[in-house]
Structure 1
């Protein structure tokens, strides 16, 4: 779901919720400014049942952390389920394409998860990411050359579509050894998957998205089954992987792992980069300093705390449990408000203030915690940091265009980011 431009020309006035009964997680007000709602949830109802989605919203840092650290009581089975029910025509489209997303990574609470996670970590651990910095810099420099040319003539340039989206996609394909797919097609497939499974699209839109998800799944399946992947590639590693019982990894599980890694590795990282760039450009004193590696790194971490691209994540209770003073039955579906936990004043003083170099900044939960902590955290941090410092160095005299307050926003259940970061050379 995309929240479109507003009709007015000024910034959106802050909204103070008077009743949680008015809360709409897909509504324009929440997507554009979720913080008043998140503050109200934390103070009035830290574990709140939302009738619109049927989910229990968990908003305090300590409660979110408790859930993530107890996978026996709070299972990840529903992490990738469609938020909006899929009607029969949509299910038929997906069935014809053979779309199945069995437990693999984010939605896997079985014994196979640990081995698959170790496999993924081999491609995204900190040393490998550090060695990949020259690759990230090369891709960033190539993309920024176009932006420099465009802004030098006085024309506007959208750093989301021309830079933030493309950089992590190109880097991911290179790091994983994936060939034979156009980057714009992969981005389109990934974005369609996010909207279908985490959005509230109308039935006609669901059909369009299902066709794209079907194309994505067919390509993934053909790539996994092709047998021609290099042994040191991600798909080559999946082909050699063995389950706890010694058996080979089923094709559909390998495809499910690719589905998650490809989306998380480029769509959500692109959303992070867009948010980082927009925030840095909006701060008059920050952009000139953002070319410094330490400043860029600190800013990225603070954005992850306050405005992470992955705003929520889901869990389901394995048994009746008490959480935040509320008795939850077995099978209760939870929505962990990761963005809200990063603004919890019990953990982060003055949470509304962007304060790079906070002493406890790494206590945020933007990447989760525990056995399901995001395996791509190091890569996402590094890509966003490199993207910011190189953009600030290459484009020192650009500013956000006047329509920045009306930028369309991606407003999905678990993903939020600006869909434009349009800049122009300052006069």
Structure 2
């Protein structure tokens, strides 16, 4: 059974602990805005929930300025955003996630872990990407192409749209990303559209077709719902696995509790190591005022360490942390307000299922810690080369 959470005020033994594995790369990567909100959780949440705020991150200015299609849900706001989110909420509701996708998560996990045991070695980041792609593809409807190839194409796409500081570099990154997006379209999205036109299913692509979206509009939504979820879930599973394999006490705590307890511990790790480290909002601009208004950067990493909300020892992993009321265990790692990540339940459940099965493999060990890189588009870490080994040590 999950153990009761105690107050973080009883953590003097953690007072000098900084467990963040991504702190160094975040400092070097830099997160810049004219006005920044740091360790003030309440102010950050107020801005994210401000009904007049507009999306200003994830290349929103370039998409707004040069985009010719109906804006994807990531860039919508107000009534238009609420309509689209309400229409797709059924694909991400906790009840649906458990009823419709849990079996897929478990089956995919078993295949991946069995392969690791058979081969004796695998990269955790590769395994987590395969899991994330398989689950997200089912929800979105991208099930009519090669999953491994799609994972590679989506990974290249994310690298092609890095958010640079100079305007020419940002434009070139945007155009490079557009070219790679078209590769995803012809190889992955177009086959799904053809299949769903013949036989609709209960997935995002079928919904968009029923709403009259054209092919390019469906592509933008697939990249929003699919690519974003696949890439960020991959990084989080790798980061959480790294922490759990590094600390035997956390690993044993994770394995000895029930699933709600495992998810609570994963949320605590995600609070400390949010994959998306910075969110941007534009204030003081109506829908017609493109590119105007004040851009505010919200430092999620700092906000999630606000002691007024998370208590003492904010940079430590405390499985019993008692966070202030009406604040989730992951803080704002999934965002807040109208753009809060719709796939939070999916990411947490598949992470809990996969890591529970993985960490029970006999003699499992992290043979090589991952290299840490930086993705400027999401102001977040990238972990590569986290080599797992099992069986008899050589």
Q: How would you bin the TM-score normalised by the shorter chain? A: 0.7 to 0.9
Contact kept in structure 1, 2:32 and 2:297, CA below 8 Å: no
Do structure 1's residue 57 and structure 2's residue 36 form an aligned pair?
A: yes
Distance 2:60 2:228 in 1: 16
Give the TM-score normalised by the residue count of structure 2. 0.78
Distance 1:348 1:116 in 2: 33
Unaligned runs of 5+ in 2: 1-20
Distance 2:87 2:104 in 1: 22
RMSD: 3.4
Contact kept in structure 2, 1:101 and 1:256, CA below 8 Å: no
Q: What pairs up with 1:81-92 in 2 under 5 angstroms?
A: 81=59
The verdict on how the C-alpha distance between 1:100 and 1:314 changes in structure 2, with shifts beyond 3 A counting, is farther
Q: Tell me the equivalent position of 1:331.
A: 293
Q: Tell me the equivalent position of 1:67.
A: 47
Do structure 1's residue 222 and structure 2's residue 180 form an aligned pair?
A: no
Measured after TM superposition, the shift of residue 31 of structure 1 is 6.0
The verdict on how the C-alpha distance between 1:223 and 1:378 changes in structure 2, with shifts beyond 3 A counting, is same
Q: Tell me the equivalent position of 2:354.
A: 387
Do structure 1's residue 351 and structure 2's residue 320 form an aligned pair?
A: no
Contact kept in structure 2, 1:305 and 1:342, CA below 8 Å: yes
Q: Tell me the equivalent position of 2:24.
A: 33
Deviations along 1:49-102, one digit per CA (max 9) or x if unpaired, are x8x855533222122101111031x211x333179x89xxxx9xxx9xxx8664
Distance 2:297 2:162 in 1: 12
Measured after TM superposition, the shift of residue 288 of structure 1 is 3.7
Q: Tell me the equivalent position of 2:244.
A: 280
Distance 2:86 2:217 in 1: 15
Distance 2:98 2:251 in 1: 24
Measured after TM superposition, the shift of residue 175 of structure 1 is 3.4
Structure 1 counterpart SS, 2:279? strand
Do structure 1's residue 233 and structure 2's residue 200 form an aligned pair?
A: no
Distance 2:163 2:54 in 1: 22
Q: Tell me the equivalent position of 1:148.
A: 117
The structure whose residues are more often helix, as a share, is: 2
Deviations along 1:200-244, one digit per CA (max 9) or x if unpaired, are 4979x9576554223124456635753335242321111122xxx
The verdict on how the C-alpha distance between 1:219 and 1:333 changes in structure 2, with shifts beyond 3 A counting, is farther
Question: Which of 357, 365, 368 pairs up with 2:332?
Answer: 365
Give the TM-score normalised by the residue count of structure 1. 0.72
Unaligned runs of 5+ in 1: 1-29, 39-49, 242-247, 321-328
Query: How many residue pairs get matched?
Result: 351
Q: What pairs up with 1:189-268 in 2 under 5 angstroms?
A: 189-200=153-164, 206=173, 210-219=178-187, 222-223=190-191, 226=194, 227-241=197-211, 248-268=212-232
Q: Tell me the equivalent position of 2:11.
A: none
Measured after TM superposition, the shift of residue 167 of structure 1 is 0.5
Query: Which structure is higher in RCO with an 8 Å CA cutoff and minimum separation 6?
Result: 2
